[in-house]
Amino acid sequence: MRLATFIAFLASAGPTVSAFVHTSNGASPPAPSLCMVGSDFFDNLLTKADPAPSTPKVEVPPDFVVPEPRPLTLTRPEDLPSVLKSAAALGVRLATGAFVLGWKVDDLFSPEDDGKYALRLGPFSLRDSSSVLGDAPRPERPLILYEYAASPFAKRVRETINLLDLTVEYRPCPGARGGKFSQDLLERTGLQTVPYLIDPNTGVEMFESSDQIEYLLETYGPREGNFDRKALWPITFEGFSIFTSTLAAVLRDMPAARRQPDARPDNEQMKPLELWGYECSPFVMPVREKLGSLTLPHLMVSCARGSANRDLLVERTGRFQVPFLFDPNTGVEMFEGPEICEYLDAVFTVKK
pLDDT digit string, tens, across residues 178-203: 999 999 999 999 999 999 999 999 99
Local structure of 104: helix, strand or coil: strand
Cis peptide upstream of residue 139 (ω within 30 degrees of 0): no
- What count of other Cβ atoms lies within 10 Å of the Cβ of residue 63? 6
Strands 167-172 and 143-147, by their bridges, are parallel
pTM: 0.84
State the pLDDT at residue 325. 98
Q: Is the pLDDT of residue 267 over 60?
A: yes
- Comparing 114-123, 294-303, 309-318, which segment has the lowest mean pLDDT? 114-123
For the chain, the average pLDDT equals 87
pLDDT tens-digit readout, 78-101? 899 999 999 999 999 999 999 999
Contact 303, 29 (CB under 8 A): no
Q: Is the pLDDT of residue 6 over 50?
A: no
Residue 218: phi and psi, rounded to 5, are -70, -35
Amino acid at 107: D
Q: Is the pLDDT of residue 121 over 70?
A: yes
pLDDT tens-digit readout, 27-67? 444 443 333 334 343 344 334 444 556 889 999 999 999 99
